[in-house]
Copies of this chain bind each other. A is one copy, B any other.
Amino acid sequence: MAMREGVRSGGRSARVQEAVHQAVKELEQLKTREELTVPQVASRAGVTPSTIYRRWGNLAELLADVSLERLRPDGEPPDTGSLAGDLQAWGEQYLEEMTSAPGLRGLNDVMASADSERRECCYRYSESIMATLCARAHARGEPAPSVDALVDGIIAPMTYRLLYDRETATSARLSEWIARTLVAID
């Protein structure tokens, strides 16, 4: 009875998804984005191309789907004892991830996807991390800006620089963004 929209969750369907994702991850390391094709992925995953086309639509969506997983934060950000410290620590690690070849490709794959929901998903990841750090600050009795202010003051310039002018996405600048954002607490 709990069947809604007729989506299959377990068994073969899940196995195929897993195999295809795995195949993409493996092939990404052997080939550039340009020379990666759906038939290749299908063949390595032991699946027919039509399965991939019917499920993901095209290569861009498949890649975005796989990359979104990689972009999802996997653990709690480290607690350094202060909001500024937490932001710096988390930001530096994020910058490092995103300036690496796979991180950059992941970012691009998500940006290239026609499905805007995926980008919103990235946004929500960042938002939830900022909320976590904010909550921590409050628990410590530390004054903290709103989550929106953190997103606008730190996430936005960091992401903007990563996307538009990679060279300037540095941890030195990160410090400035943090400082500016934290002095402006109402």
Which residues of A124-171 have CB atoms within 8 Å of chain B's CB atoms?
149, 151-153, 155-157, 159-161, 163-166
Q: Which residues of B contact A159 (CB under 8 A)?
A: 156, 160, 164
* A159-B160, A183-B184 as given contacts; A114 in contact with B108, CB under 8 Å: yes
Number of residues on chain A facing chain B (CB within 8 A): 32
**A74 interface contact, C-beta 8 A:** no
A163-B116 Cα distance, complex, nearest whole Å: 8
Q: Which chain B residue lies CB-closest to A119?
A: B164
Q: Which residues of B contact A56 (CB under 8 A)?
A: none
**Looking at the complex, which one of B119, B120, B164, B180 makes contact with A120 (CB distance below 8 Å)?**
B164
**A34 interface contact, C-beta 8 A:** yes
Contact A34 B108 (CB under 8 A): no
- Residue with the highest number of chain B CB atoms closer than 10 Å, among A122, A160, A184: A160
Q: Which residues of B contact A149 (CB under 8 A)?
A: 180
**A111 interface contact, C-beta 8 A:** yes
Q: Which residues of B contact A151 (CB under 8 A)?
A: 157, 160
Q: Which residues of B contact A60 (CB under 8 A)?
A: 112
Contact A111 B114 (CB under 8 A): no
Q: Which residues of B contact A120 (CB under 8 A)?
A: 164-165
